Amino acid sequence: MRNSTKLIILTVIALICILLYGFYDIKGGFDYAFPRRMMRVGAMVITGFAIAYSTVVFQTITHNRILTPSVMGIDSMFEVVQTLIFFFAGSVSIWVVNQYLNFAVSIVAMILFALILYRFLFRADKHPIYLLLLIGMILGTFLGSLVSFLQVLIDPVEYLSLQSRLFASFTNIKVELLYISIGILLLAFAYGYRIMGQLDVMSLGRENAINLGINYDRLVLNVLILSSVLIATSTALVGPITFFGLIVANLSYQFLVTYKHSILILGAGLISVIALVGGQFIVEHIFEMNTTLSVIINFVGGIYFIYLLLKESRAAG
Amino acid sequence: MIEIKGLTKRFGNKPVVEDVSIKIQPGAITSFIGPNGAGKSTLLSMVSRLLDADTGEVLLDKNDVKKWKSDEFAKRVSILKQANFLNVRLTIRELVSFGRYPYSKGRLTTEDEQFVDQAIAYMNLTDMQDKFLDELSGGQKQRAFIAMVIAQDTEYILLDEPLNNLDMKHSVQIMKILRKLVDDLGKTVVIVLHDINFASVYSDNIVALKNGRVVKDGPTNEIINSEALREIYDMNIPVQEQNGCRICVYFNSHS
C-alpha cells in the first residue's frame, strides 16, 4: 500500500471519529450540544498535532525513538506551577479561578524553564544533547519530588481539585483559550513546516547532516525551543499527556515506512486525532465519564512503552 | 584551494593535532597516513568543519571555513566519515538523493536525478538501487555512502578511511574511481588511508602525521622510501618496485 493511500485511510478514520463524536446520541438541544462538542474536537485536533509534531522532531534530533520531550521536565514544570498555586494561594484564588491568568502563568513558566535550560547548556558545551537530556531528566525528577512533597502537605480537599487539573481533560476548555492556543500553534507550525526538509537530512546523523549543509547546532536549538512551545501550549490547555506522543510517533513509524517528516508527522497527527477523539467518545459514552481520557491513554501508552522497550532490547541484544 | 594554518586541537590536555600547516594541492589525490592516534581523522574533521579547532584556521579560497555559509560550503566540500549508522530505513537511491540536498533542498529536479543516476552507476549500484541499506553487506553500504558524496558533486571530496570493511576487489575499485574523479573531472580528493600501499599506488601527495604533527609532506615518491617510512612508523619497511608501483613490504619487518 502506498503512503498516500495510508494517509487517506487515516484521514477518513479521523473524520469518522469526529462525526461520530459530534453527532452520536445528541439529546435535547442540538444547538447547545453540537458547538460544545466541536470545540472539544478542535482542542483535541490541535493538541494532537502539537504533541505528534513535537515528539517526532524531538526523536529525530536525539536519534532515539523511545524518548518524548517530556523527559526535559517541561510537563513537570506545569505540575510545579499548579501545585505551588494551590499550595500558597488556594483553589479559590484568582490564580485558579481566572483561567486566562492560570494559562498565562503556566505557559510562561514552562517556556522560561526550557529556555533557561537550553541557554545555560548551549553555552557550556558544543554538542550538548545528551547532557541536556540527563540534566532535563534530573530536573524533572527533582520537580516531581517537590510536587509530591507539597501535595502531601496540602489540604485534602484542595488536593482533589488540584489532582483534577493534573490529569489531562478535554471537557472544560474555555473558547478564548482555545483560540489563543490555536494562534500560538499555527505560528509554531508555520516555522515547523519550513524545516521539514532539514529534519529529513537530520535523520542521517550529525556528520552527514553537516556535510549536506545543515547548520546542525542551531537547528537542534530551534527544534528544542519549537517543541517546548508546542508542549507548553498543549499542556497549559488540556494538561499533561505523558505517553501519548510516544505512542503516536511510533505507530506512525511502523505504519508509514519512510524518512520523510512531512508524511511521518501528518500520520502521527492523524493517529493522535483518532486516539483522542475516539478515546473521548469511549470515555463519554461507554465509561459514562467514570474515568478520564488521560487515564486510558497512560494505561494503553504504558503497555505499548513496555512493548517498545522489549523490542528494542531484543534488537540490540 | 584549501590551506591549513597552525591548526591545533586538544581533547582535555592531550593535544591530538598540533600546529599543522599544509596546503592541499587542487586536482590531485592527497593521502593522510600515519600510525593509529596520529590525528589524521581529527585533522580531516576540522578541515570539513565537523569539529572546531582550538587555534589556527582552515581556509577555503582564502576564507575561513567557519565563516562560510553552511549550505554554500556543502556545494564545495563534501566529507564522509567512517561510522555510518542510520536509524532510518532508506533505499540506496534515497540515500544518494540526499547528496543533492545542498542544491535542491529536497525537491529533486531532472538535473538532480541525472546526477543521482550517474553517481549510482559510478559505484556499480544500479541493479540494487532500490534495496534498503540494512539489507546490504558492509562493502555495498560503504559504496552507497560514497555514491551520495559523488552525487553531491563538490570540488573537494574528503574521505575518512573509505576502504574500511571493503574486500580487495572493492578497495581497488573505489581507489580507481577516485583516481578517475581526479583525472577526468578535476576533483580534489583528500583521503585518510591505513594501507600505505594504496596511498603509494594511487595518491599524488602524501601527508604523514605522527603524534598530531606533520612529519612528512610531499609528492608520493619522496615519501614512499624506507628512510622516510622509518621516521613515520618506527619500522623497517623495505620498498620494492613492481610494474612502476612502489610497494611497501612491511608484513614481516622488525623494528
Residue B255 pLDDT greater than 80, yes or no: no
Residue A1 pLDDT greater than 80, yes or no: no
**What is the reported pLDDT for B190?**
94
Nearest residue of A to residue B82, measured between CA atoms: A207
The CATH number of the domain where A247 resides is what?
1.10.3470.10
B49 vs A126, A208, A210: nearest CB:
A210
Averaged confidence pLDDT in chain B: 88
Q: pLDDT confidence of A2, banded at 50, 70, 90?
A: confident
| Angle value at C-alpha B238, between B232 and B244, nearest 5 degrees | 105
Q: pLDDT confidence of A123, banded at 50, 70, 90?
A: low
Query: What does the pLDDT look like over A185-219, one tens digit per residue?
Result: 899 888 888 888 899 998 888 888 898 988 888 88
Residue B25 is classified by DSSP as P
**What is the reported pLDDT for B158?**
93
CA B65, CA B191: separation in Å to the nearest integer? 19
Distance in Å, alpha carbon of B189 to nearest chain A alpha carbon:
15
Which residues, 6+ apart, have CB-to-CB distance to B166 below 8 Å? B138, B139, B142, B174
Residues of A in contact with B84 (CB under 8 A): 205, 208
Number of domains in chain A: 1
Does residue B13 come out as left (phi exceeding 0), alpha (psi in the -120 to 50 range) or beta? alpha
Averaged confidence pLDDT in chain A: 85
Q: pLDDT confidence of A167, banded at 50, 70, 90?
A: confident
Span of A171-180, A308-317, B18-27, B210-219 with lowest mean pLDDT: A308-317
Q: pLDDT confidence of B175, banded at 50, 70, 90?
A: very high
Q: pLDDT confidence of B52, banded at 50, 70, 90?
A: confident
H or E element in which residue B220 lies = helix B220-223
Query: What does the pLDDT look like over A19-65, one tens digit per residue?
Result: 988 888 777 777 788 888 888 898 889 989 999 999 999 888 888 88
Using a CB–CB cutoff of 8 Å, tell me whether B154 touches chain A: no
Q: pLDDT confidence of B71, banded at 50, 70, 90?
A: confident
**What is the reported pLDDT for B235?**
87
What whole-number percentage of chain B has pLDDT above 90? Answer: 29
Using a CB–CB cutoff of 8 Å, tell me whether A200 touches chain B: yes
CA B212, CA B56: separation in Å to the nearest integer? 14
**Residue B168: helix, strand or coil by DSSP?**
helix
HEC string of chain A equals CCHHHHHHHHHHHHHHHHHHHHHCCCCCCHHHHHHHHHHHHHHHHHHHHHHHHHHHHHHHHHCCCCCCHHHHCHHHHHHHHHHHHHHHCCCCCHHHHCHHHHHHHHHHHHHHHHHHHHHHHHHHCCCCHHHHHHHHHHHHHHHHHHHHHHHHHCCHHHHHHHHHHHCCCCCCCCHHHHHHHHHHHHHHHHHHHHCHHHHHHHCCCHHHHHHCCCCHHHHHHHHHHHHHHHHHHHHHHHCCCCCHHHHHHHHHHHHCCCCCHHHHHHHHHHHHHHHHHHHHHHHHHCCCCCCCHHHHHHHHHHHHHHHHHHHHHHHHC
The average pLDDT across A120-143 equals: 75
A201 vs B48, B89, B98: nearest CB:
B98
**Residue B87: helix, strand or coil by DSSP?**
coil
**What is the reported pLDDT for A118?**
79
B74 vs A203, A204, A211: nearest CB:
A211
- Say whether A200 and B102 touch across the interface (CB within 8 A): no
The average pLDDT across B142-159 equals: 91
What whole-number percentage of chain A has pLDDT above 70? Answer: 96
Range of the domain at A16: 3-316
CATH architecture of B2-83+155-248: 3-Layer(aba) Sandwich (3.40)
Query: What does the pLDDT look like over A255-289, one tens digit per residue?
Result: 888 888 989 999 999 999 998 898 888 888 888 77
**What is the reported pLDDT for B101?**
92
- Say whether B106 and A197 touch across the interface (CB within 8 A): yes
**What is the reported pLDDT for A125?**
52
What whole-number percentage of chain A has pLDDT above 90? Answer: 14
Nearest residue of B to residue A259, measured between CA atoms: B88
- What ranges do the domains of chain B cover? 2-83+155-248
